[in-house]
Amino acid sequence: MEPARKRGRSEMWQYFELIAHDKVRCLLCTSELKYHNNTSSMKRHFTAKHSDQGTSAAASATSGVTQENAGAGAGAGREVRPLASEDYETMAACIAMLNPFKKATNELSEEKRVSGSVAIPMTKMLFHSIIDLTGQTSHATAKILGQNLIQQLTSRFDGQEDSTACNLATLLDPRFKMIGFRNQGCAQAAMRRLVSECASVMRTSLQLSTTNQPEPAHPAIPSADNETPAASTEVRPLASEDYETMAACIAMLNPFKKATNELSEEKRVSGSVAIPMTKMLFHSIIDLTGQTSHATAKILGQNLIQQLTSRFDGQEDSTACNLATLLDPRFKMIGFRNQGCAQAAMRRLVSECASVMRTSLQLSTTNQPEPAHPAIPSADNETPAASTGYIIKIIYTNYIYQVGL
């Protein structure tokens, strides 16, 4: 049965007929078009192909939304008029207003590891960029968009610089420091908090050193012995000596940063790096402690050496660690700090290898009483134990030569 023809108020139905629920046919050229409950496609076709057929129909084709489509239901499509030059200008102005967000997204996507230190500087960049673009634009719609964006940024990130995790991370990032803050009052507060925490750590370190060393060789910190707990929490502005102290202490901690970077670069961290890494830390801290002339940094180095000794003193006696280091071709015996432990680990390794080979030879002689292979030269008259000892001696000699004893 032929579908019923839809009649409306549009003049386009004078030149088209409905042949399916979603298809119409042009009566002038028999072209078939898609039908989506509006006459937009018919108007475009009529304007492009048959504009000379009737002035009234052509005028209707270039007009706006018809009364038929304006009263259509929720499922009906909406006619879209061709964009004017003002529309393109509005779109360009709004896209330019949103460009800072695109730049921020690109910068974040280019970083391998996005840390919390970029949150405050990124928000500052967005704030300043949107404020500048809002003041520069002369387009009313773009200006309203900019004002709304500033309002949203303010409501969502107004307390961001008060967050301890964010502001300390930004302050410690060498790319930003204090210039990454939008509110310099928050930057000053974060700096005071950081200095207070550093002073607390250093004070604790000094107290521990004086407890463990009742007669320290270093001079006491001026005016710090008679301070009350309330006075010790007050933080004065940093002087040049404070910056020198911080720089010396950071230099003392640099070997731990290098060790962390080396471990993070490895795809699979094995137990064979534990002993060599501890050896590197020991030697680096000892060298830096001997080279520095700063009293606080020297105390920090002594405390670090003491902590490393107390925590990792028995590390080279661990069978799992020392055998793994010995078998790693990168380290072998030079990875050990104590060569006595290296020698003991070597003897343990040779003993275990000999035990495994002895068991294997005993099993082979038990299962094969008359072996088809020729005997080892000069071992015809030897007992199984003697031949085993001869082979072990050869293996031991070759292994000692390979590891460089």
Residue 230 falls inside a structural domain = no
In a domain, 197, yes or no: no
CB 161 within 8 A of CB 183: yes
Q: Among 292, 324, 356, which residue terminates a domain? A: 324
Is residue 82, in this structure, part of any structural domain at all? no
Residues 319 and 250 in one domain: yes
Domain contains 231: no
Q: What angle do CA 59, 62, 67 make, to 5 degrees?
A: 85
CB 396 within 8 A of CB 350: yes
Q: CA 216, 219, 225: angle at the middle one, nearest 5?
A: 95
Range of the domain at 307: 239-324
Residue 120 lies in a domain: yes
Whether 96 and 184 map to the same domain: the answer is: yes
* Whether residues 58 and 95 fall in one domain: no
Q: Based on the domain organization, do 66 and 29 belong to the same domain?
A: yes
CB 296 within 8 A of CB 248: yes
| Tokens 């005028």, located at residue | 59
Say if residue 318 is in the same domain as residue 343.
no
Looking at the fold, whether 95 and 38 belong to one and the same domain comes out as no
Q: Is 280 helix (H, G, I), strand (E, B) or coil?
A: helix
* Tens-digit pLDDT string for the chain (405 aa): 444 444 446 788 888 898 888 899 999 888 899 888 888 888 888 888 887 765 444 444 444 434 444 444 444 445 556 777 788 888 888 999 999 998 888 888 887 777 778 888 888 889 899 999 999 998 888 899 999 999 998 888 888 888 888 888 888 888 888 888 888 888 888 888 888 888 888 888 777 767 765 555 555 555 545 544 444 556 567 788 888 888 899 999 999 988 888 888 877 777 888 889 888 898 999 999 999 998 999 999 999 999 988 888 888 888 888 888 888 888 888 888 888 888 888 888 888 888 888 888 888 777 665 555 555 555 444 444 445 555 555 555 655 555 554
- Whether 95 and 185 map to the same domain: the answer is yes
Distances (CA, A) of 256 to 59, 262, 283, 313, 340: 79, 10, 12, 18, 26
Same domain, 314 and 355: no
Question: Considering the domain boundaries, does residue 206 fall inside one?
Answer: no
Residue 207 lies in a domain: no
Whether 170 and 99 map to the same domain: the answer is yes
Q: Do residues 294 and 324 lie in contact, with contact meaning Cβ atoms separated by under 8 Å? A: no
For residues 129 and 181, state if they share a domain: yes
State the DSSP string of 147-197: HHHHHHHHHHHTTGGG-HHHHHHHHH-TTTGGGG-S-HHHHHHHHHHHHHH
Q: Are residues 317 and 348 in the same domain?
A: no
196 part of a folded domain: no
* C-alpha–C-alpha distance, residues 148 and 154, integer Å: 10
| 109 and 20 inside one domain | no
User: How many separate domains does the chain show?
Assistant: 4
Contact call for residues 37 and 97 (beta carbons, < 8 A): no
Which residues are 20's β-sheet partners? 23
